[in-house]
Structure 1
Amino acid sequence: MAIMDGIKRQLRSVIEWQNPPADVLFMQWSENGDEIKNASKLIVGPGQGCIFVYEGQVKAIIEEQSLINLQTDNVPFWTTIKKFMQFFVSEHKVGIYFYRKTKILDQKWGTTSLIKYQDPKYQFPIGLKAYGNYSYQIADANAFFVNIVGSHNQIGIDEFRKIISARVIQPISDYLAECSYSYADIDANREEIARGISIKLAIVFRKLGFSISDFRIEGTDFDDDTLRRINRIADLTAEAHAAQTVGLDYAKVQQLDAMREAARNESGAAGAGMGLGAGVALGQNMAQGMSDMTHNANPAIDDITGKLKQLKLLFEAQLISEAEYSAKKQELLSRF
């Protein structure tokens, strides 16, 4: 019975990757074990490639759709293999691997750790997260087998995506450090950044045996420390713009806020003194501010309506009293 089983096994001589699973990229053929039978036929289907590995080394790669008779056809290294065939059984094991040649589309990527670099404009450390998608395909089966497959008998598409995600961080970090994009410019220049990164990735991944294309950045985010710094910059910028809008120097506004806060927090005689001092300083600064507004008025640009708006902003910001607001408002209205 064992002899008949052996004969039957020898007659099963078609080597083919039938109905490959949709989630498999690279797979070792093992239907008849790892022994190539004399008079076997090899079928390489559309969109497939086949690698012959002998004693751990790639000996031949078939990249075109084909039907090959391994006994008679001139296949690279096959004549060497046949020298070891004894009674239809090889004492030297041969590996046959099939792989997808077609492009794998719309693969998601995301940074598994923060991309860190120095913001070139504000000079503080950035912690960036990013995600997007890409397409890829095996371009050099030999390099792919040596650098990626190794001792594995199967590589899945999901498994390979993790390998790619782990390798994209360094090229992205290098590119962002070189291109000098501030945090505020990243989203507006996503396409340009993606093009630059894809060039770097193409160089890295080509050495590993596959090509990457259609690399896109779909979104970015920052870590908590970076967001706190960004929000602080936004607040300070808004305050400085508001001060400029009402014709005040931002440093003076900060000084007035500090004195007002000190007057609120202090108690007793010290608080009263601070409050008095703050009031005097406030009055002096406001008088100076009003004087600057009056002397610097340009009839061609700053009409009375604009001055009234500025005056209201000062009052709403509690930088002048209601009496001062009413008096100055009446003065401006009297010029109509």
Structure 2
Amino acid sequence: MLIKHADLALNKLKKGYTMKLYDIVKWDDGESSVNDIISYKHEAEDFNTHTQLIVHQSQEAVFFKDGMALDLFGPGKHTLSTQNIPLLKKLINIPTGGETPFHCDVFFVNKVYLADLRWGTPTPILMEDPLEQINIHVGANGLFGAHISDTRKFLTKIVGTRDRFSKDELGGYLRGKIIERVTDLLGKTMVDKQVSILSVSSHFTELSDSIKEQMVPFFEDYGIALDLFSFTTIKAPDEDLAEVNEAKKARRKMDLESEALARKRQREGYTYQQERGYDVLGQAASNEGTSSTFMGAGMGLGMGLGVGGAFGAGMANVANAGFNGMQQGQAAAAQVGEVCPNCKAVLPEGAAFCNKCGTRLGNVCPKCGAVQPKGVAFCNHCGASMKPVCPKCGAEVAEGALFCNKCGTRLGGEPVKATCPNCGAEVADGALFCNKCGTKLQ
């Protein structure tokens, strides 16, 4: 038959063993008042069911038996009885009633807020600046504050069997875990929020809150509430900052140049691919060479620039014509560009008006004036119908019509010079009388 713990204690007393039974158990160590000690294992190990347990403000006491955290007591004066130590009573079978001795350990935990604890990365963190894609070495430091939120978890997972656990020990433990987490999270958080090392000082609060939020569940698992986490400094060496600054300047310069070129092409009505096509064709037209040399250039252009079938057709025509210097180059250019229906001048692809005679080419949105690809039914800029309309009365007109069939307004081509119906002399537009024979014109 198993001998229960209470019976064992009584047998020891009967056999003459000396057992120091404590009437009052409390932690009055002055060190706790200044928060230097976080947990304290009381020297008492033998109690009875009339022992007084005194727990001060900001403290909690926990009974342990065989490594198990059992009954927990908050601030106040507690008389140990079978009613308020149900877990211990069940484990060691303390009989109800009377004064019964029992053996266990009691730990006191200081739950005050621990403030102004410092942390800092011992070595730089290698990461990539999220905006400039330059590798940098980042150091960081700051403050944190915490308190014990779950006494049982804290004692079993961190303190263990140690008689005392100091603030410095807890600070060192937390500091190591914070640095471990910051090393993993700082670079990722800066990338997620697109914060460059050059502007990081204005994002301390944002980064602190984000990283704290990600660390809270980790510390809760150890019975610790992370009340405060903040950055004091995040910095990189001067040489890293100089490299990032140079990359930023170069990127900004390229952006400005690209924006300027894009605006220029937009004004002139062509794209980058078309510009490159014109450059190569212009070089081919101005240089005499063999057909194989020019064809090789054409193949390279087609593969590298993706000009497409129109350029391929141009190359074929040039090859068939014998590549006779400037004339062949101009023929190739004509295959790529637009041809004015009025004066037959070769124009850049996508041109809205002839730059020689001013004829409207018919691929301009009648509402917003944006240049549109051939064959589209609606403007891809403003959504208006691409059917040509009279600029004066707004009536739809046939493609290529020279006059509006509703109001007679001239739509394109060379303007017809007004003449006198009597003598045939040219007269100015809007003239009321012929300045040669005096005939009334209107």
Q: TM-score under structure 2 normalisation?
A: 0.47
1:128 paired residue among 128, 138, 142: 138
Partner of 1:47: 58
For residues 161 and 67 of structure 1, the distance between their equivalents in structure 2, rounded to whole angstroms, comes to 30
Task: Answer with 1 or 2: which has the greater Rg.
Answer: 2
2:171 paired residue among 154, 161, 168: 161
Q: Is the 8 A contact 1:111 1:168 kept in 2?
A: no
Q: Which one is further off, 36-45 or 229-238? A: 229-238
Report how many residues are paired. Answer: 230
Question: Aligned letter for 1:145?
Answer: L
Shift of 1:185: 2.2
For residues 43 and 228 of structure 1, the distance between their equivalents in structure 2, rounded to whole angstroms, comes to 60
Match of 1:26, SS? strand
1:204 paired residue among 211, 214, 218: 218
Shift of 1:42: 0.6
Q: Within the alignment, does 1:184 sit opposite 2:195 as a pair? A: no
For residues 251 and 131 of structure 2, the distance between their equivalents in structure 1, rounded to whole angstroms, comes to 18
1:213 paired residue among 227, 240, 244: 227
Q: Is the 8 A contact 1:27 1:155 kept in 2?
A: yes
Q: Which has the higher strand share?
A: 1
In structure 2, relative to structure 1, the CA distance for the partners of 1:77 and 1:238 (3 Å cut) is closer
Q: Per-residue CA shift, 1:243-290, capped at 9, x if unaligned?
A: xxxxxxxxxxxxxxxxxxxxxxxxxxxxxxxxxxxxxxxxxxxxxxxx
Match of 2:112, SS? coil
Match of 1:50, SS? strand
Shift of 1:166: 1.0
Shift of 1:13: 1.8
1:193 paired residue among 195, 201, 207: 207
1:107 paired residue among 90, 103, 117: 117
Q: TM-score under structure 1 normalisation?
A: 0.60
Q: Is the 8 A contact 1:112 1:166 kept in 2?
A: no
| Structure 1: runs of 5 or more not aligned | 243-336
For residues 196 and 138 of structure 1, the distance between their equivalents in structure 2, rounded to whole angstroms, comes to 22
Higher RCO (CA < 8 A, seq sep 6+): 1
Q: Within the alignment, does 1:26 sit opposite 2:43 as a pair? A: no
Q: Per-residue CA shift, 1:31-51, capped at 9, x if unaligned?
A: x3x233442111111111111
Q: Which one is further off, 64-73 or 207-216? A: 64-73
RMSD of aligned Cα (Å)? 3.2
Q: Which one is further off, 71-80 or 230-239? A: 230-239
Question: Aligned letter for 2:40?
Answer: M
Q: Which has the higher helix share?
A: 1
1:141 paired residue among 113, 129, 151: 151
Question: Aligned letter for 1:210?
Answer: I
For residues 239 and 182 of structure 1, the distance between their equivalents in structure 2, rounded to whole angstroms, comes to 16
Q: Is the 8 A contact 1:135 1:212 kept in 2?
A: yes
Q: Which runs of 4+ in 1 moved over 6 A?
A: 236-242
Identity %: 17
Shift of 1:229: 2.5
For residues 70 and 168 of structure 2, the distance between their equivalents in structure 1, rounded to whole angstroms, comes to 28
Q: Which one is further off, 108-117 or 73-82? A: 73-82
Q: Which one is further off, 164-173 or 70-79? A: 70-79
Q: Is the 8 A contact 1:175 1:196 kept in 2?
A: no
Question: Aligned letter for 1:28?
Answer: K
In structure 2, relative to structure 1, the CA distance for the partners of 1:201 and 1:37 (3 Å cut) is same
For residues 152 and 80 of structure 1, the distance between their equivalents in structure 2, rounded to whole angstroms, comes to 26
Q: Is the 8 A contact 1:118 1:126 kept in 2?
A: yes
Q: Is the 8 A contact 1:149 1:155 kept in 2?
A: yes
